[in-house]
Structure 1
């Protein structure tokens, strides 16, 4: 359940200006506008209603789906990471308050990683790191050659 655009924009503007305390205060004061919907969702969760159906009904963030949150995850913000890491068991639910509004999180399942998945990820990372290292070395060599040898670029002949 998210803040309206104006509220969210004001919070972001305050953060950009380095006024985190003011942004936090605005965020906290603005939660009242979301409280009724939040209480409906949480009463459904407590009553054992289907979590997926509740999220379908009340979710305002179309990008919000099942996500893997692991220690060190930074993509979703510290509030969501801390909330997710605080849920102890599968089926547990908690709420994160962010600059966007309320995020209701459920520990859906333990992550299961097969040996094949680990192998695939390892190879993908190895390829990525190798490619980056090659690009770094090539750039360093090119910079060295540009410094070591004099050259001129004829922009007319190159049609630049």
Structure 2
């Protein structure tokens, strides 16, 4: 199981989509305050659809609260400023992957202190960043691929036909 950490998320629809991705992948979601919305907002629930009730989610007062309650876990910091690609690291079951708020990302002092685990998604230099929920999906599915999609359904089935 992987742990997705959102540091001060601002847009409820992104968080809802990320919650749905977490349910689909068996990942835990960690939300660190302050957030730009209330957890009860319609946009959040609408984006998460009927999956939100199945989400394993924990909310923390601040970054220090998160670190303390999770015993200073191994964290990969996803950022446009990262020195290495997300495909360059070796993810392991139980790792934490942190994403910063939509308007500013993860603070640079945190990134500076964690250079070895600061990762980026390559993109054209004219683009500032990808959508947060897309970024989470990209990095999380690479982590899952590296761990051979453990515990996930690997084959689909047709309703009216066999694959013979």
TM-score range, shorter chain: under 0.3
More strand by percentage: 2
Q: TM-score, length-normalised on structure 2?
A: 0.23
* More relative contact order, 1 or 2 (CA 8 Å, 6+ apart): 2
Q: Could you say which structure has the larger radius of gyration?
A: 1
